[in-house]
Chain A
Amino acid sequence: MKAFFLGVDIFLCLMVFLCLYRVVFGPTLGDRIVATGAIGTKTLTILVIIGFLYGRVEMFLDISLAYALLNFIGTLAAAKYFEAKGEF
C-alpha cells in the first residue's frame, strides 16, 4: 500500500507540473489564477497522502485543511482585486 501511495503522489506532482505550464505561459491573468487554484487543490491531496506515507495522518490533515482555506481566500481576493482594478 505504501508503494501505491508513493506512486499516486508522484503522479499528482506530474499533474502539478502540467498545470504550472498554464501559470507561466497563460495568455491572460485569469488563466493564471485558475491554474493556481487547481495547483492548490492538487497540493492539498498530495499533503494528505504524504500524511498516510509518513504514518502521521492527523498532523498533515490539519495542514491540508488550513491550506484549502488559504487557497480559497487567495482566489477570492485575486478575483475581487482584479475586478476592481478593471483589467484581466
Chain B
Amino acid sequence: MLRSRYQDIIAQTIVRIMVPFVQIYALYVLAHGHYSPGGGFQGGVILAASLVLIFLVYGYENALERLKLATAGRLCSLGVLIYAGIGFLCLLLGGNFLDYSRLAPIFQVSLPRARSLGILGIETGVALAVMAAMYSIIMDIVNSDTGNGESHAAGHEIENGETSSDGK
C-alpha cells in the first residue's frame, strides 16, 4: 500500500540526510524572495515537498507523528491570520490595506526597511498556509485510496522479514 513504510534502507538513509537541507533551502527561497525567484508560495511548496519526502519513505503514520492533520489545519489558518493581521494593522494605523510604510513607527525603522519587513511577514504567512494546505491535501488523497495492490505489498513485507508498524 502507498501508506506503508518503504522497506529500503538506501532510500531511508538518503532521505534522512536530505530532508534538513531541503528545509533550509526552502527557508532560503522564502527569505531571499526579494532578489531572486521565490517567495512565500515557492518556499511553502518546497517545505511541503520535504514533508512529502518523509511520508513517501517513512510511511503515513510516521509523517503524521511529525505533523498532525489538525496541526496542519491550525497552521493554515495561522498563515492566513498573519497575512490578514498585517494587512488590517496597516488599515488601523491609517493607511490602505497592506500599506507597509505605516508600520515604520512600530518597528522603529526607516520607511524602506519597514516595507521590506512587512513583505517578509506577509511571505511567511503565505508560506505557512501553502505548506499546511499542500500537506493536508496530499495526506487526504493518500488516506482515501483503497488500492488494488494491497495483497501484493503485504506479501513483500512478510518476505522482507519485518513487521510494519501501521498494521497494514
Cα A83 to Cα B7 in complex, Å, equals: 12
In the complex the two chains form, is A69's CB within 8 Å of B57's CB? no
B99 to chain A, nearest CB (A): 28
Tell me which of A62, A77, A84 contacts B149 (CB under 8 A).
Answer: A84
Say whether B160 faces chain A, with CB atoms less than 8 Å apart: no
- 34-89 of chain B: CB within 8 A of chain A: 35-38, 42, 46, 49, 52-53, 56-57
Say whether A18 faces chain B, with CB atoms less than 8 Å apart: no
Q: Is the interface of A mostly helix, strand, loop or mixed?
A: helix
Q: Number of B interface residues at 8 Å Cβ cutoff, please give it.
A: 25
In the complex the two chains form, is B152's CB within 8 Å of A77's CB? no
In the complex the two chains form, is A62's CB within 8 Å of B49's CB? no
22 residue pairs of the A-B complex, CB under 8 angstroms, read A58-B35, A58-B36, A62-B32, A62-B36, A62-B38, A63-B37, A66-B25, A66-B29, A66-B46, A69-B25, A70-B49, A73-B52, A73-B53, A73-B56, A76-B53, A76-B56, A76-B57, A83-B153, A84-B152, A85-B147, A86-B148, A86-B149
